[in-house]
């Protein structure tokens, strides 16, 4: 990343001004910038997270996560904490933070597991589990929280229950025996014609057979 020019600024400004109708073009411009980003370009995108449409917020969160530096992690943490934005935006900010693991990321996700939205809690659980898996220094902090989230029955439409995400993350952290038990439970769900759509979705997503 870097450079003092702002080659993409005119396009970013144009497509942001175009609203949701220009979302696809905005995404393509941001993707074309992967690997290089100027401060001015980042500032334009960061401003969207404070005044854009819901869809602009979501897709800017999604795309800027692939950049390092220029306050990207801070911008994602701000998006996660912004209770004026929709739950699906805040939840996705929590998920994208798994690409920016740090003590501040972990702290932000620890706060987010108290969010009233199951979608925010689910993705905060995901990133906490990922952080503990990738950096053992976070295990002592994350594991007790993940254990507590096993009691969270909140369900995210189109995904699954928060407790199921916590169960998956814990099995990944605890080793082969827990992973084997998880897979046995998954097979039971997949063979159960009475399983809910959310349970089937969770089981299919985590099936390793």
Identify whether residues 33 and 116 lie together within a single domain: no
Average of per-residue pLDDT across 87-102 = 97
49, 70, 91 - which closes a domain: 70
The greatest distance separating any two alpha carbons of the chain, rounded to the nearest whole angstrom, comes to 59
* pLDDT value of position 4: 52
**pTM of this prediction exceeds 0.85:** yes
In this prediction, residue 2 has a pLDDT band, given cuts at 50, 70 and 90, of very low
* pLDDT value of position 69: 80
Share of the chain above pLDDT 90, in %: 89
Identify whether residues 56 and 78 lie together within a single domain: no
Identify whether residues 84 and 60 lie together within a single domain: no
Identify whether residues 91 and 184 lie together within a single domain: yes
Mean pLDDT of the chain: 94
* 74-90 per-position pLDDT tens digit: 999 999 999 999 999 99
Identify whether residues 65 and 79 lie together within a single domain: no
Cα 144 versus chain centre, distance: 21
Residues with Cβ < 8 Å from 16, sequence gap 6 or more?
22, 26, 44, 48, 52, 56
Structural tokens at position 38: 């100027």
Report d(CA 182, CA 176) in Å as an integer: 10
50, 70, 90 - which closes a domain: 70
């Amino acid at each position: 990343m870097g450079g003092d020019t702002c080659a993409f600024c005119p396009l970013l400004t144009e497509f942001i001004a175009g609203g949701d109708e220009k979302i696809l073009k905005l995404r393509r411009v941001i993707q074309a910038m992967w690997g290089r980003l100027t401060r001015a370009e980042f500032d334009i995108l960061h401003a969207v997270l404070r005044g854009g449409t819901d869809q602009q917020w979501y897709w800017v969160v999604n795309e800027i996560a692939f950049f390092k530096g220029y306050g990207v992690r801070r911008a994602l943490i701000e998006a996660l904490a912004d209770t004026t934005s929709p739950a699906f935006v805040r939840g996705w900010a929590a998920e994208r933070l798994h690409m920016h693991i740090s003590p501040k990321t972990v702290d932000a996700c620890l706060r987010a597991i108290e969010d009233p939205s199951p979608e925010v809690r689910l993705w905060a659980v995901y990133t906490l589990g990922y952080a503990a898996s990738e950096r053992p220094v976070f295990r002592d902090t994350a594991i007790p929280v993940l254990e507590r989230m096993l009691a969270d029955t909140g369900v995210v439409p189109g995904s699954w229950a928060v407790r199921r995400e916590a169960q998956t993350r814990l099995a990944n952290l605890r080793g082969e025996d827990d992973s084997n038990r998880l897979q046995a439970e998954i097979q039971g769900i997949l063979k159960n014609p009475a399983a809910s759509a959310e349970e089937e979705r969770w089981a299919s997503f985590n099936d390793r057979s």
